Amino acid sequence: MSPAFLAYIGDAVYELYVRTCYLLPPRKVGVYHNQVVAQVRAETQAKALQKLTPLLTTVEQDIVRRGRNAATGCPRRLKPEIYQQATSLETLIGYLYLRDTERLSELLNILIT
């Protein structure tokens, strides 16, 4: 599968995971939304990838590299390397969602703690 497809899936999976993490304690929707948006921003995703990088297997590092190389069309507000790192994380999440959900859970739990 293409890195763009994996990043597309990974983006959705990551946002859903973050949303479920913020369900408790109950909050007003606006507060909830702001917290989720802060976590799924490209800048935050780039930092998350940096946190996970030392823990990745060789195969996972290759997926990250493929995601970084496939990142195109960077928004103006972002530096290209930040956008590439965020896309790389989304690519990895998409790959693990389709191939190894246990490993995906392990890595996502590291990001939340």
Distances (CA, A) of 110 to 15, 27, 51, 52: 16, 24, 9, 8
* Residue from 9, 11, 49, 88 carrying the catalytic annotation: 11
CA gap 10, 13 in Å, rounded: 5
Q: Could you confirm whether 62 is annotated as catalytic?
A: no
Provide the token pair at 90. Answer: 């989304």
Rg (CA), the chain: 14
Catalytic residues: 11
